[in-house]
Chain A
Amino acid sequence: MTAQVLFKNRHPDRIATLAEYRHSGGYEALAKVLADSSRQQVQQVLTDAVLLGRGGAAFPAGVKLSTVAADAPYPRYVVCNADEMEPGTFKDRVLIHADPHQLLEGICLAGFAVDAHEGIIFIRPEYEGAARILEREIALAEKEGLLGQNILGSGFDFDIIVHRSGGRYICGEVTAQLNAIMGRRPNPQQPPPYPTEKGLWDRPTVLQNVETLCCMPHIVRNGADWFKGLARTESGAGTKIFGISGRVRRPGCFELPMGVRLSEIIENHAGGMAEGSRFKACLPGGASTGFLPAEHYDIPMDFESLKQAGNRLGTGAIMVFDHRTCLVGVTLNLMEFFARESCGWCTPCREGLPVIRELLREIEEGRGKPEYVGVLKEMGRHLWNAYCAFAPGAAAPLESLLAHFADEVQEHIERKACPFG
């Protein structure tokens, strides 16, 4: 068994209680910083720990906190992104259900680090259960003096509210999420200004993913070196929650050292490939990462190694496909998702994705023409010039399909049918 940090209090059948969390060292980090740390110290330890954003973009969390200027106007906000809508991703839900106070403490620490007094948890409507847990535990923490006015007698005030989304993938994008919270249409908005300068209601706003925030109490309590030491590789830091699904025996969420090998996750933790299945490819970090072909079966799963392989760790949601899975079909399904969830702002995303989907459908259903491959390649390349990162995310599986599985696409066209039936 590897070191369990975020899942330390995880039970198969119930939520960890506040008492359990405190017993395991919970809220010690908060007490410590409130007693004797400056906001810069908190920012520094997170920066030193090389805590990279776990929501997919991998931006250094400590650096993000430090971009809120000391003399920035008030009020300032911390937004916790619990709008986990990347297909294949469910780690944030598991984290909230496992140990909700870990997240609340993390949000509060981030608040302290930028001198904010309000935290907003933006949560997708599918996670109504998690939203209710959070509301209940927030009330409990307030009662215990761990949130709200004058936390632990320190004079620091911090409130957390749960904001329910109406449900759209684009709301996971930082600027779209801020627009959503403000009751506007959740279209992304290109910086400048950056949210840490002008975010919610034009005030400094720091947005972090659930898992990133959950790491914070542990880093503050145990130090940057400890956190870095948790990783298996030199380039990684900390643990990572890998959500694994698809053609494996035991799909689920596992906390493993950053840099653990893909083969190890599949074989040791997910129970190996499903009955009669051989590994063909996986999406290593959600729908907006590329197909990782079998040659990378042993790749260390951290941000740097996947970058080297021309891919991304994304959210660490591994979707495993076997030798019987039609990857044209998978990509068609992904394009259907992206086309449906586009916010409709820019042309490549709104118009390009449905066209790509239809071309793939033609190929999958045996009506593909040889020239479609070229058209798809061209369009995939042009998706990168969209307004936000949404369409480039869709380009990743498409382009990797065309690059690594060209034969499979070709076979569809030549046979005038899907070879997988």
Chain B
Amino acid sequence: MLPENLKKELQDRIAAVDHPRELVVDVLFALQAHYGFVTDEAVEEAAGLLGMTPMEVDEVATFYTFVYRRPVGKYVIHVCDSVICWLEGGRSLQEYLSQKLSIAPGETTADGLFTLLPVCCIGYCDRAPAMLINKKVYGPLTPETIDQLLDELREAH
């Protein structure tokens, strides 16, 4: 169930625009922030708020890279695997992350902290190899910077 204040906030935003469905991604992001990922229930709630059918919302939700329709960890690591990062050793960094976290790409660590998702070019080719953690960019990366970063995030938790 959506908390009243979040529901109200979304309803107000929706009421302020001419075409509610243009907010579908924003609403999905908001529900994702609340639930951790876009649950089946969240799709239905989004549909209700936006005056769309759940199917219409899901057709959009399942399309996008940054809308998670399955559970993810607290920190979602998007490692860039496109050409410049690849050229700069991105693949070995991804393997390093996999090994360090003991998860394969697409998986979440047992403690629910990290999810590793390879992603296409994130637009930080000048900082290759790069990655995003919860939409914040890090790069150029080395095994050392990765170690440090993961430790910091674990500690912050």
Q: Residues of A with Cβ closer than 8 Å to B?
A: 84-90, 93, 124-129, 163-169, 180-186, 201, 243, 245-247, 251-253, 283, 287, 317, 319, 321, 325, 329-330, 333-334, 336-337, 340-341, 343
Residue of B nearest to A162 (CB): B26
Additional pairs, 4, CB under 8 Å, beyond known A252-B126, A287-B82, A343-B63: A87-B82, A87-B121, A183-B50, A251-B126
Q: Do A168 and B21 form a contact, CB below 8 Å, given A87-B121, A126-B137, A340-B120? A: no
Contact B123 A163 (CB under 8 A): no
Which residues of B are in contact with A by a Cβ distance under 8 Å? 18-19, 21-26, 28-29, 50, 52, 56, 59-61, 63-67, 78, 81-84, 86-87, 120-126, 128, 132, 135-137
With A84-B123, A90-B124: A246-B63 Cβ-Cβ less than 8 Å: no
Question: Given A166-B60, A185-B59, are A333 and B120 also a contact pair (CB < 8 Å)?
Answer: no
- CB-CB under 8 A from A163, the residues of chain B are 22
Q: Does A85 lie within 8 Å of B121, measured CB to CB?
A: yes
- Contact present for B87 and A247 (CB under 8 Å): yes
Do the beta carbons of A87 and B120 come within 8 Å of each other? yes
Q: Is the CB of A243 within 8 A of B29?
A: no
- Contact yes or no, B19 A164, CB < 8 A: no
| Nearest Cβ on chain B to A160's Cβ, whole angstroms | 14
Q: How far is the CB of A141 from chain B (nearest CB, A)?
A: 19
Closest B residue to A87 by CB, please name it.
B121
B59 → A minimal CB distance (Å):
5
Q: Once the chains are docked, how many angstroms separate the CA of A220 from the CA of B114? A: 50
> B125: which of A90, A329, A330, A343 is its contact (CB, 8 Å)?
A90
Question: How far apart are the CA atoms of A236 and B54 in the complex, in Å?
Answer: 50
| B87 and A167 contact, CB distance less than 8 A | no
Return chain B residues, CB-CB under 8 Å to A340.
Answer: 120
Bound-complex Cα distance A341 to B28 (A): 20
Q: Please name all residues of chain A whose beta carbon is closer than 8 Å to the beta carbon of B63 when the two chains form the complex.
A: 166, 168, 185-186, 343
